[in-house]
Amino acid sequence: NAGVTQTPKFQVLKTGQSMTLQCAQDMNHNSMYWYRQDPGMGLRLIYYSASEGTTDKGEVPNGYNVSRLNKREFSLRLESAAPSQTSVYFCASRLLNSPLHFGNGTRLTVT
């Protein structure tokens, strides 16, 4: 019973490098989300996908792109990483208005 799986768990990038954070859920949820968590800021929504084939910007989308590859998978891409993107990234999913189920996070450091 995996739930929401995020890879990788840790990543260090140099400024300007690109990378993709992967997220997959096995609960047949319709909606998927990417949040970033920074000290004292709580969780801020980057992008979300209400259903397969749709994506929308959240509160802090600049510098990120997303792909809802299929119902299970929702990836987050940093095209040109910046130190301001150092954060912990959480993927989450849910069914309609049920509670969010979270992955264990990816800790990203950009030097």
Partner 1 sequence: AQSVTQPDIHITVSEGASLELRCNYSYGATPYLFWYVQSPGQGLQLLLKYFSGDTLVQGIKGFEAEFKRSQSSFNLRKPSVHWSDAAEYFCAVGDRGGSNYKLTFGKGTLLTVNP
Kindly list the residues in this chain that would bind partner 1 in the complex (CB under 8 A). Answer: 4, 31, 33, 35, 40-45, 48, 50, 58, 90, 92, 94, 96-97, 99-105
Rounded Cα–Cα distance for residues 59 and 44 (Å): 6
* DSSP state, residue 100: P
* DSSP state, residue 54: -
The residue among 1 and 14 lying less far from partner 1, judged by its C-beta, is 1
Min separation Cβ 15 and partner 1, Å: 26
In 3D, which of 59, 10, 69, 8 has the Cα closest to residue 35?
59
For the chain, count helices (H), then strands (E). 0, 11
The residue among 19 and 45 lying less far from partner 1, judged by its C-beta, is 45
Min separation Cβ 30 and partner 1, Å: 8
The residue among 14 and 28 lying less far from partner 1, judged by its C-beta, is 28
Contact 19, 10 (CB under 8 A): no
Min separation Cβ 16 and partner 1, Å: 28
